[in-house]
């Protein structure tokens, strides 16, 4: 049997052990390539993907949020979210304030400067999504979304059963 595209890209001599292995590695490789394109775009605007994610959450909510709530809403797991918020605050993109009711709770709010950065990114991000996924028809996109949700549910069950990987 002829080697598949991913096997060729990886210069893998032997076939994959299973279709699941090939699918997992293909998903990881595709995600990595997509993230690289987004990181390049964010870098041109002085951000990293995790910072953009935090700002996007705050803009979408429209009001200050506690740090732990922001962490729960991120697309990817964000280790060291406090450090990321420190940097965003240092760059004038967010402000922090303690709750009057519970001094342990810290709320984070997006600044007008950050809102302007996000507004400049809106169209380039939309265009990048279209360039990357515009090769799919509407029904193919819906099918991909459904398949990814199915896999994510299985992965979430695995994490719930065994917990997250240990931190190093």
Alpha carbons 127 and 123: distance in angstroms, whole number: 6
Contacts by 155-164 with C-beta closer than 8 Å and gap 24+? Answer: 164/77
pLDDT greater at residue 90 or residue 164: 90
How many angstroms separate the CA atoms of 159 and 166, rounded? 12
- Which pLDDT score, from 0 to 100, does residue 87 have? 95
Domains of the chain: 48-131 (1.10.10.10)
pLDDT of residue 91: 96
Percent residues over pLDDT 90 in the chain: 72
Q: For 121-168, how does the pLDDT look when each residue is reduced to its tens digit (9 = 90+)?
A: 999 999 999 999 999 999 999 999 999 999 999 998 988 888 766 654
The pLDDT score that the predictor gives to residue 160 is 87
Q: What are phi and psi of 13, to 5 degrees?
A: -75, -40
């Amino acid at each position: 049997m002829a080697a598949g595209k991913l096997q060729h890209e990886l210069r893998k001599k032997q076939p994959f052990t299973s279709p699941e292995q090939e699918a997992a590695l293909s998903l990881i490789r595709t995600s990595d390539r997509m993230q690289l394109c987004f990181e390049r775009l964010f870098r041109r605007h002085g951000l990293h993907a995790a910072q953009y994610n935090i700002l996007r959450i705050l803009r979408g909510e429209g009001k200050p949020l506690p740090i732990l709530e922001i962490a729960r809403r991120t697309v990817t797991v964000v280790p060291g979210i406090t450090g990321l918020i420190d940097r965003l605050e240092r760059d004038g993109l967010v402000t922090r304030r303690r709750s009057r009711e519970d001094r342990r709770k810290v709320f984070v709010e997006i600044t007008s400067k950050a809102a302007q950065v996000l507004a400049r990114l809106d169209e380039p991000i939309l265009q990048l999504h279209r360039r990357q996924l515009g090769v799919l028809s509407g029904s193919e996109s819906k099918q991909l979304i459904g398949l990814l949700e199915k896999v994510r549910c299985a992965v979430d069950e695995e994490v719930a059963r065994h917990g997250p990987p240990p931190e190093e």
